[in-house]
Chains A and B, each alone.
Chain A
């Protein structure tokens, strides 16, 4: 049972535009959500997180939105840059981290 889902395996966005990556979860006990960026053959790098008591957290070009009633979170990257091209994992935690399957973002010039 996949408790954290990223339904889009890939996303292609033009440089300068907004990238929106989506994530859905099923477990209402999750109280903390994180986004990670991963390059091939490397470990994930933490990007941004949000607590379940908030609905928005912003850090530079990255903003995470949480909609608890819909059990949905999204990561917005504005403006997108070619260096943002990577696989993005969302993760949710209660007592341990559960990862989504990832979305490969490609930012083209």
Chain B
């Protein structure tokens, strides 16, 4: 099946620093990538949708200037948490949609393994 990787898997940083998380689709071209955040014992919350070569679309309540998303190629999207604070500590998961595979007119997302961010 399709594989999506994330790097790093775990990061610990000091408050005020910026952290970049990479999401790669390894064996398919991802026309669209999604970034989710999961709080403890809660659902996955969509943060933003990024399409290759265009600006990301952010969900309501997500700060664009704080969570910078770049989708520079069909296999790579990055999420940069700028000036991180302890409340940004969370599990961040990306997913990628294979534009060639449509099921039910939409297609399935393939998820990365997630990145655990801890801000001290």
What residues of chain A have their CB less than 8 Å away from a CB belonging to chain B? Answer: 4, 31-32, 34, 36, 41-46, 49-53, 89, 93, 96-102
Contacts of B6 in A (CB 8 A): 43
Asked whether, in the complex, the Cβ of A46 is within 8 Å of the Cβ of B110, the reply is yes
Q: Which of A32, A36, A96 contacts B104 (CB 8 A)?
A: A32
Alpha-carbon distance between A30 and B23 when the two chains are bound, in angstroms: 27
Q: Mark B96-112, 1 if CB is under 8 A from A, else 0.
A: 00000001111011111
CB distance from A55 to the nearest CB of B (A): 13
Contacts of A41 in B (CB 8 A): 91, 114, 116
Alpha-carbon distance between A52 and B41 when the two chains are bound, in angstroms: 28
Alpha-carbon distance between A22 and B71 when the two chains are bound, in angstroms: 35
Indicate whether A46 sits within 8 Å of B109 (C-beta atoms), given known contacts A41-B91, A51-B104, A97-B34. yes
Instruction: Say whether chain B's binding surface is mostly helix, strand, loop, or mixed.
Output: strand
Indicate whether A102 sits within 8 Å of B43 (C-beta atoms), given known contacts A43-B95, A49-B104. yes
Contacts of B91 in A (CB 8 A): 41
Asked whether, in the complex, the Cβ of B104 is within 8 Å of the Cβ of A52, the reply is yes
CB distance from B26 to the nearest CB of A (A): 14
Contacts of A99 in B (CB 8 A): 43-45
CB distance from B117 to the nearest CB of A (A): 12
Asked whether, in the complex, the Cβ of B104 is within 8 Å of the Cβ of A43, the reply is no
Residue of A nearest to B32 (CB): A96
Indicate whether A93 sits within 8 Å of B106 (C-beta atoms), given known contacts A41-B91, A43-B95, A45-B111. yes
Alpha-carbon distance between A80 and B113 when the two chains are bound, in angstroms: 25
Alpha-carbon distance between A100 and B44 when the two chains are bound, in angstroms: 8
Contacts of A96 in B (CB 8 A): 34, 46, 49
The 7 closest A-B pairs by CB, nearest first: A43-B111, A51-B104, A32-B104, A101-B43, A99-B43, A99-B44, A32-B106
